[in-house]
Amino acid sequence: MTDNTGRVIDYLRISVTDKCNLRCRYCMPPEGVTSLRHEDILSFEEITRVCKIMARLGIKKVRITGGEPLVRKDICRLIEGIHVIPGIEEIAMTTNATLLAPLAGELKRAGLDRVNISLDALDPLVFAAITGRDALGEVKEGLSAALSVGFGVKINCVPCRELNEGELRRVAAIAQNQPVDVRFIELMPIGCGKQFHGISSGELLKDFSAFFGEPREAPASPGGGPACYYNFPGFQGRIGFISPISHKFCKSCNRVRLTAEGRFKLCLHYESGIDLRKYLRDGRTEDAQIEEAILEAVKNKPAAHHFESPGEEMPSERENVEERNMNQIGG
């Protein structure tokens, strides 16, 4: 599957719910949002059908996200269904890990390969102030369980001036003591994220170099995604930086998204895409017609986001700017 700018699309991120058991301040309003009705979100059978079609079109990697994917009942059944699809080489999940410890073994047996755990602070009070819940203990248990069942594990942290500036060295130090990569992701001005100020990767790299010692740049792994990794002296894991704002990586973007209500989405910044649920529930639509609609939509994947320069979108794209929160889009 190739778009009009020549990018090969082989990575699908699937949001399985807009619901979440945390309220990270840059992601969801504290009062929550009106959740989708159960009948409005795609069933596992519908998601699996989309995955089969997409795998035939060249999708090799799938990531399950949300909202919080582990609040969706029976999530292991969906992983099992995707795991057996020919062509899908890897299934990963992005999770806040609060519910991970009791489910880790079952998820592994179902075919999940990797988990990315979101963790913005290691001080329990700061964690609770960011997420609205005193749940750091559960997250730590989730991390240990993920490592002990043998998942590839990465930690994702969003540095935010107002929320966790004083926590970032401690979060980075997880990679000092454990064989886990810790990645810092620049805050994007999406939904509630617009109210906060992110911290750039450059500023953090400078701070970590002064504090932990001069790092060596780690070689990029082929198809390894947009993170730039560094090896710090004495660290077991690497420190990565994902810099959608200061170093846009749109030119090598290989991903598309399926939202919980079945919208096929081409870029985080724009609403453009197609309502796949309509096709899936029509009853008469053949897979071939859905394939055709997806291929046509992919051709028009926006060339780049314009988060760093609001208002500079192409006129045709301006009305199309995504206004929803990350939990609704699928982060």
Does 256 contact ligand SF4 by CB under 6 A? no
Among 20, 107, 153, 260, binds ligand SF4 (CB under 6 A): 20
Q: Which is nearer to ligand SF4, 16 or 294 (CB)?
A: 16
Contacts 24+ apart (CB under 8 A), 273-282: 273/297, 276/50, 277/42, 277/46, 280/42, 280/46, 280/49, 280/50, 281/46
**Using CB atoms within 10 A of its CB, is residue 115 exposed (0-12), middle (13-18) or buried (19+)?**
buried
**Using CB atoms within 10 A of its CB, is residue 165 exposed (0-12), middle (13-18) or buried (19+)?**
middle
Tokens of 127: 């964690």
Q: Binding partner of residue 188 among ligand SAM, ligand SF4, none, CB under 5 to 8 Å per kind?
A: ligand SAM
Residue range at the interface with ligand SF4 (CB under 6 A); choices 65-73, 179-187, 216-224, 226-234:
65-73
Does 327 contact ligand SF4 by CB under 6 A? yes
* Positions at the binding site for S-adenosyl-L-methionine: 26, 67, 118, 188
What's the start-to-end Cα distance of the chain, in Å? 22
- Chain positions 91 to 150 lying near ligand SAM, rule: CB under 6 A, are 94-96, 118
Contact assessment for residue 115 and residue 153, using Cβ atoms and an 8 Å cutoff = yes
Does 48 contact ligand SF4 by CB under 6 A? no
Tokens of 92: 């990963």
Using DSSP bridges, classify how beta strands 11-15 and 61-65 pair: parallel, antiparallel or unpaired.
Answer: parallel
Q: Binding partner of residue 93 among ligand SF4, ligand SAM, none, CB under 5 to 8 Å per kind?
A: none
Residues that bind ligand SAM (CB under 6 A): 20, 26-27, 65-66, 68, 94-96, 118, 156, 158, 185, 187-188, 190, 193, 326-327, 331
Residues that bind ligand SF4 (CB under 6 A): 20, 22-24, 27-28, 66-68, 96, 118, 326-327
